[in-house]
Amino acid sequence: MAAAQAQRALVTGAAMGIGRAVAERLARDNASMVLFDLAAEPLRALADELRAGGCDVHAVVGSVADRSSCIQAAAIAQQEFGGLDLLSHNAGIQRYGTVETTDEALWDEVMNVNLKAAYLISQACMPMLRESHGAIVLMSSAQGLASQEGVLAYSVAKHGLIGMTKSMAVDYAPLGVRINAVAPGAVNTPMLRDAVALNENPAAIWRTLDDMHPLGRTAEPEEIAEVVAFLGSKAASFVTGEVVRVDGGLLSRIGGSPRKE
């Protein structure tokens, strides 16, 4: 029996955090990959590392919020691999503010990077995914299903990604393309570490984050990457339009209790 063809993937936000973990996870299956990120130095270092391990990897430095960069990344996949089987979109930023303290520039920045970018990269990749009957996995958040205080733009954008997931799933199911989203809880990424470091007592914040999750800890990026790899694989062939919570039980618990056992 002939060996299965290695997957061809485009991974955004690949330089660090969840995106990097996804790239490393797919590399274990010898995927051919286009890695796409704005952070040039860590992106190229990861690409070199994965090439040294035997993977066919190409790095694209650019912003996912820029149409021309998205088109370039997709074009490289077409040129180098002859198509694409998986788009794993992980790029995002965290910003803070209420409806009064979020100015228009910040709102636009978050919407462009966290929501519009998903539209741009999905649009650029969809012709190849239609041809291959491939898959898209968008990285939403538990805050795409609920919200903390002071994260208006971020929460709106992550809710929007879930709407986009369901809409694209319905549109493209007849064409053989599956689209799903992942909604992590708190994950030990550079983005989260930077946010925690802004506080006067980071250790206390980490304890709070751990305690929020019934499993008693935050996630590691590799745990999220495993779910992405599953959703992007043929093993998930009947899964589309789904939002998979990988949140350690975060959204399953109602705070407070009338009694303590």
Strand partners, 219: 187
Stretch (H or E) spanning 36:
strand 32-37
Strand partners, 178: 135
CB-based contacts of 18, cutoff 8 Å, min separation 6: 90, 139, 184, 187, 189, 221, 224, 225, 228
b/e per residue, 39-65, with b = 16+ CB within 10 A?
eeeebeebbeebeeeebebbbbbbbbb
Give the active site residue among 96, 119, 154, 172.
154
Annotation says 154 is catalytic = yes
212, exposed or middle or buried, with CB in 10 Å at 0-12, 13-18, 19+? buried
- The DSSP call for residue 245 is E
Q: What would the DSSP string read from start to end of 162-223?
A: HHHHHHHHHHHGGGT-EEEEEEE-SB-SHHHHHHHHTSS-HHHHHHHHHHHSTTSSPBPHHH
Dist CA 13 CA 19 (whole Å)? 5
Write out the two tokens for 43.
């992106």
The residues that are catalytic are: 154
